[in-house]
Amino acid sequence: MSELPFGKEQHFRKLQDYIDKMPSLSTTVTKVLEVCNQPNTSPNDLNKVISLDPVLTGQVLKLINSAYYSLPNYIASLTRAIIMLGINTVKNLALSTAILGSFNQEDSFQTLPMDQFWTHSISVGVTAKILAARKGVPAASREEYFVAGLLHDLGKIPMNNCLAAEYTQVMELAALGQGPLRNAEITVLGFDHGVVGKLIAEKWQLSANITETLCYHHEPSEAAADNRGLAAIVALANIYANIFDFGSAGDPYPEGPAVTFLLKALDISWQDMSAIRTAVSAEVEKAQIFLKVSKETATA
């Protein structure tokens, strides 16, 4: 990021201080991520970590027995729940829980509507996961697309919390010009929520692909080649959620050229996007349960 003018540099330092003081991920979550990132991890390996945390154990069982999965019989075994959910889903439940625990308080949202924000975030996650399936991404990897979409706008939360007056100006400027919120952020503050999202991801030592998606979901071509596909799909999912009013994160005016570029880069037509609307709506409703479980774990 280029050097900022004095007043705007103060804003950035205030955000850095806020993020520096945020708690690190819990020992359990850190260990879950570590175990899941090992190539030969088994459900038993993950069971050994999660079974030491009664709250997370309860939430894994609550998720597998929820309407999200609609299973005919109750699952009482943690190992069986991990096998049925899949290692990536359990990892992402633990990660989402930790992040929601840090950012789901009412005072985190000074200028953005909290419920609308999370509805938008869920919608982007669901859409990204559906698009990943359409693009032939293996089933085991699709949950990462959901989580990347769920977290993509995290950088907005400290901005609207620490700099509430300035962020109100940002939203007013975007509405007045009917332009992208990111452009208004740069005009008023000198930096955007992608930069702040990257700071959070680095604080929590999230994976490179999640970190770059938070940073570059408005300019996926800037991401490293290995992470560009994920960033591009989340970028398109974000625009889709804004156009069809799935919640709101303060950005209802997407850039027209970006839509054309992403559709071409991903070899997806707008007819394809329109065709998934019913599936997205149904999955958003189901994914609300995933988010509810994560929130309950976070506040337990």
Does domain 6-23+108-299 match CATH 1.10.3210.10?
yes
Q: Provide the pLDDT for residue 2.
A: 56
Nearest-Å Rg of the Cα atoms of the chain is 19
* Start-end of H helices in the chain: 6-21, 27-36, 43-50, 54-64, 78-85, 87-103, 114-134, 139-151, 156-162, 164-177, 181-189, 193-203, 208-216, 225-243, 256-266, 270-275, 277-299
Q: What pTM was estimated for this model as a whole?
A: 0.85
CA 102, distance to chain mean position in Å, is 13
Q: Would you state the pLDDT for residue 140?
A: 75
pLDDT in tens, 176-230: 988 899 999 999 999 999 999 999 999 988 889 999 999 999 999 999 999 999 9
| Per-residue pLDDT tens over the stretch 94-111 | 888 788 777 766 667 788
CA distance 243 to 251: 10
Please write the tens of the pLDDT for every residue from 12-43: 999 999 999 888 888 888 899 889 888 888 99
